[in-house]
Amino acid sequence: MPDRVILHVDLNNFYASVEALHHPELRGKPLVVGGSEESRHGIVLAKNYPAKAYGIKTGEALWQARQKCPGLVVRPPDFKKYLRFSRMARRIFSDYTDQVEPFGIDEAWLDVSGSTRLFGPGERIAGEIRRRFREELGVTGSAGVSWNKIFAKLASDLKKPDATTIISRDNYRDIVWPLPVEELLYVGSSTKRKLQNRAIYTIGDLARRDMALLKQFLGVWGETLSTFANGNDTAPVRRAGDESIIRSIGNSTTTPRDLVTPDDVKLIIYVLAESVAARLRAHGLKCLTVAISVRDKELSSFERQGKTPQPTFISADIAQRAIELFTINYNWNKPIRSIGVRAADLVTAQGHVQLAIFEDITARETIEMAIDNLRGRFGHFSIQRCSMLTDRALTGFNPEADHTIHPVSYFK
């Protein structure tokens, strides 16, 4: 059976490239897209190549980036604009295959195995897509071509901008194996340390290491990474329109000031819980578990989760469970910088109704859905809890509309 032809296409410096396209006067200048410094979200989300030349890195604070480059141009993020370009890129992909699997807003895998008779080999298809990016979208992209998804993604990262790299069965040992082990997808800093403690520094070291030994200190994850390193990944590229199962729904926020009292925390938790509950209702889901994430001012963090008495999409229930988890697990050694609330163990809303003896859950659900309707008609802030008015500087945000777009997981 012939090998598959898998492409991974990545739009170069996506947010920054779109901003430069809309502001031609900024082309060639060091440019980053960054969050609001006033609300303490001031980090670099994306950078262009002139900014990269100054050593600016994604994720660092904007004040640090300005120290490296005093003339740095900072643009606020505009996710609606980026989503529009992402959809246009997907339409280009769909001209070559219906097997398109997004891996975030600016990259995707394509299985073009069935299209090569029409459009030529994978390298030619990749070049055609890159040309159309330049001519139709005004941005550039890099592409990787291989017989599996892992190597295709790795190849697209090797040459930027506007380049195609091929990793084949004939050359992968020469191209892939000498690379640092952290270049392999899902080898993070913790796994890197574990591997290096056992003299595994390159992808080739990992590929040649005995599977049984890898499983001893990494468990089943060791087998997975060995499979990746040896090019034996067989994960399919999903067809366009396939929906992955929603595993959890959550929102988090870095607060405009440090939280120093339980009442501060309750206000933020209620804002986040309302967003999570509204999104559950929009998807026709309820949750059986509520999880919180907490980060203090020195950036130490933890997560905790707990079950709910019954499946719920009621914001008060989610908030109450989140507050209980926080109260039990935080001792207020330090002020808090950010909080997240997440609903997990999801079930369909229809058919999972737990009847209560002492309260009418159906009436509470009806009220919540009425609030959704009012906010849909008159805006999010048209109806609020009274407690939210006690500190508008802390609660005056809408996480349902502002939640950040994150990459989806490789594992479905």
Active site positions, annotated: 107
Helices 79-94/14-22 angle, 10° precision: 100
CA end-to-end distance (rounded Å), the chain: 25
Give the separation between CA 246 and CA 229, rounded to whole angstroms: 29
Q: Measuring CA to CA, how many Å separate 63 from each of 52, 296, 371, 387?
A: 15, 20, 40, 34
How many Cα atoms occupy the beta-carbon half-sphere of 212 within 13 Å?
A: 0
Q: Degrees (nearest 5) of the Cα angle 111, 104, 74?
A: 135
Contact 212, 309 (CB under 8 A): no
Give the separation between CA 203 and CA 209, rounded to whole angstroms: 10
* Residue 150 phi, psi (nearest 5): -60, -50
DSSP-derived letter for residue 25 is: G
Give the separation between CA 196 and CA 315, rounded to whole angstroms: 45
- Cβ atoms within 10 Å, residue 245: 6
Ramachandran sector of residue 351 (left: φ over 0; alpha: ψ -120 to 50; beta: rest): left
